[in-house]
Amino acid sequence: MADNKPMRLWGGRFEGGPSDALTRLSVSVQFDWRLAPYDLLASRAHARVLHRAGLLAQDELDRMLGALDDLDQACRNGEFRPTVADEDVHTALERGLLERLGTLGGKLRAGRSRNDQIATDLRLYLRDHVRTIVSRLVELETALIGQAEEHAETAAPGMTHLQHAQPVAFGHQLLAHAHALTRDVDRLRDWDRRAAVSPLGSGALAGSSLPLDPAAVAAELGFDSAAPNSMDAVADRDFAAEFLFCAAMIGVHISRLGEELVLWASQEFRWIEVDDAYSTGSSIMPQKKNPDVAELARGKSGRLIGSLMSLLTTLKGLPLTYNRDLQEDKEPVFDAVDTLLLVLPAVSGMVSTMRVNKAKLEASAPDGFALATDLAELLVRQGVPFREAHEAVGHLVVWCQVNDKDLGELTDEELAKVSPYFASGPDGSVRDVLNVQGALAARAARGGTAPDRVRDQIAALRETVDDQAAWANES
Ligand code: ARG
């Protein structure tokens, strides 16, 4: 930024200029400049409304719109830049307009305030970027679904407490992460309905005495309605806080996925191999291949949660209406947007390119006596109270541990020795339920891990994801 003469939108009633310390504290253009395209959109709508109100002649409107287009172009190609002397994005753009139009440029400020402008700009920015974020979430969902399709039948150890619990289809587990992300998209779409309210027309806090048309401005900017209360409109940052909650929740979801990917890639698990394109090495240990993408996904969730806390703390206790504290809303919001747009493509790439070690997964699926519940449920089907079945299988597990055997290795004689419940009868041996594929297929009710149910989920999720992609692209 070049060093120019200070540009301020106020000062008429001041005799002395602001101190350097105040100026440095006050300036926000270094971070709010990214709102310039949205501020210009709102300015075009405002110019039209001033014209319809009889406050801008037709030729003035034409010149105003021409100058706004020219300024927009100059901002985009970098010909027009904010200077350190511009207090904020609104100030810089008014300077650009005055440079192009002379005194006519000063007419645009009628009937609006930076208070309703900034609230509008941030909503426009977020509604636009939320669609991009949804597109990136759709890519991650698609990556997870693609891997799940490959592994709808691959048995894996399912865990609770990070201990082997029951076998699951690996695809089932991958889809669990995809479902969480579809809820995140739902939340953002629902957020968008509430964010689709235009603050423009609220002025500083009380509305305007000029015959403006807030509803027309709202419609032109793609909002569903104009705010019904000007004081609420300039003071409300719910939309920013709620967006930050959505972002933090996404952060938590990709962090949990990231943690699993880190575990899966470890020597101890060896469930996946991360593609070279998504791995890093060590500067000292030549053999290392690290899952940094997953670790950064986990790490970045910290700043997403922090941004939410930061804004909530700023808002807490603010009296109505606008207070300068509200300038602190933007950096957390921008950081959350940047963070998500940075991390989501990397995680999608890591998931879609990882190689799943099917043999390792299937070999370890029954480990840790993971079929014990199946055995107990077999006894229940034969009329044994679950309490007794649980106890009998518990004894069998201890017997196996003492004798260093797996459930699947037991002979009929050994089974009968532990409990008469396990003696083979006319319906065959209890050993028949001790197979992993049978255990998966048996969990065939809605929500269960049976490969058929996994394929049902994939079909339903593909429809959901298509609908989400269409929303992001079209609305
Ligand atoms: N830079 C300010 C913000 O981000 C714009 C609104 C300033 N309004 C005011 N009355 N000083 O909130």
The pTM of this model reads 0.94
Q: For 130-179, how does the pLDDT look when each residue is reduced to its tens digit (9 = 90+)?
A: 999 999 999 999 999 999 999 999 999 999 999 999 999 999 999 999 99
| H or E element at residue 197 | strand 197-198
> What pLDDT is recorded for position 426?
65
Lowest-confidence region among 83-87, 133-137, 301-305? 83-87
Nearest CA to ligand 1 atom 7: 114
Least confident piece of the model among 1-10, 111-120, 144-153: 1-10
The rounded distance, in Å, linking the Cα atoms of 349 and 275 is: 9
Nearest CA to ligand 1 atom 11: 324
pLDDT at res. 307: 98
Residue appearing with tokens 């806390």: 309
| pLDDT the model gives residue 63 | 98
- Nearest atom (ligand 1) to Cα of 87: 1
Alpha carbon 409 to its chain's center:
47
Q: Compute the average pLDDT of residues 367-394.
A: 91
Shortest-distance Cα residue to atom 4 of ligand 1: 327
pLDDT reading at 348 higher than 90: yes
Lowest mean pLDDT among 84-88, 314-318, 452-456: 84-88
**How much is the average pLDDT of 9-14?**
74
Comparing C-alpha atoms, which of 235, 246, 327 is closest to residue 35?
327
The residues near 10 (Cβ < 8 Å, ≥ 6 apart) are none
Rounded CA separation 326/333 (Å): 12
Helices then strands, counting H and E runs in the chain, come out as 18, 6
CB 121 less than 6 A from any atom of ligand 1: no
Cα 177 to ligand 1 centroid, rounded to whole Å: 40
pLDDT digits (tens, 9 = 90+) for 428-475: 678 778 889 999 999 999 999 999 999 999 999 999 999 999 999 987
The beta strands (E) that lie in 403-452 are given as none
Given the residues 161, 266, 310, 352, select the one marked as catalytic: 161
161 is catalytic: yes
255 Cβ closer than 6 Å to some ligand 1 atom:
no
pLDDT of residue 430: 80
